[in-house]
């Protein structure tokens, strides 16, 4: 006699799949405000920093679609032992600020999003050698994508990847960079 499969063994996996994939409308306020903070890792020196963001939902007529305006600021700082092949230590600082449009979709516990923005990056180098001291600003555009995990209606951890292309950098050692940001947003 062949054992029969028990249908209740499928209930738990199907329930977990439904929790992850079924849209949840109240996971965050689409037209509300959000303020966030992040730890960021860049692929250029200086490599580590933090970011702040302020977001405002701007489109609420379409269900499950989340369109936001974002203002962001990031700061990176690092002491390097050798800068520009001179062999002298320097302190490097980058200030990054800009505006962006973010579009996303809410699926249960996962809210993927993409965005496009413009901003300005200010690079500053200070050293004991005056020839290494300089400051330069560059306008940039960026593309980014990430995912939010709204575990509570007010709290959304996120991870984000951003690609930045500088448009008029003369003194920078790079004309593009990318970064990963890990943070949390408070929605209200």
11 belongs to a structural domain: no
The answer to whether the CB of 108 falls within 8 A of the CB of 23 is: yes
77 belongs to a structural domain: yes
- At 135 the pLDDT is 84
For the chain, what is the domain count? 1
Range of the domain at 162: 30-187
- Tokens encoding 79: 């002491």
Domain CATH for 97: 2.40.160.20
13 belongs to a structural domain: no
Name the stretches of the chain with pLDDT < 50: 23-29
Q: 105: closest CA among 138, 62, 142, 71?
A: 62
Place of tokens 């050692």: 173
- At 95 the pLDDT is 95
- At 42 the pLDDT is 93
71 belongs to a structural domain: yes
5 belongs to a structural domain: no
- At 102 the pLDDT is 94
pTM over 0.85: no
- At 170 the pLDDT is 61
24 belongs to a structural domain: no
7 belongs to a structural domain: no
Q: Between the CA of residue 42 and those of 36, 107, 153, 186, what are the distances in Å?
A: 18, 29, 30, 24
**Tens digits of per-residue pLDDT, 35-44?**
999 999 999 8
């Amino acid at each position: 006699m062949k054992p029969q499969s028990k249908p209740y063994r499928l209930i738990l996996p199907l329930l977990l799949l439904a929790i992850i994939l079924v849209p949840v409308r109240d996971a965050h306020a689409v037209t509300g405000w959000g303020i966030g903070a992040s730890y960021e890792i860049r692929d250029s020196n200086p490599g580590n920093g933090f970011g702040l963001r302020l977001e405002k939902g701007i489109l609420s007529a379409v269900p499950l679609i989340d369109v936001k305006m974002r203002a962001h600021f990031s700061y990176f700082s690092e002491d390097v032992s050798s800068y520009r092949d001179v062999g002298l230590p320097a302190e490097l600082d980058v200030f990054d600020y800009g505006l962006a449009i973010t579009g996303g979709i809410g699926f249960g516990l996962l809210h993927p999003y993409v965005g496009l923005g413009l901003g300005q990056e200010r690079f500053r180098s200070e050293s004991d050698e005056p020839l290494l001291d300089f400051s330069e600003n560059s306008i940039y555009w960026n593309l980014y994508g990430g995912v939010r995990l709204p575990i509570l209606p007010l709290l959304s951890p996120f991870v984000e990847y951003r690609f930045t292309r500088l448009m008029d950098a003369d003194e920078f050692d790079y004309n593009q960079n990318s970064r990963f940001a890990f943070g949390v947003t408070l929605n209200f």
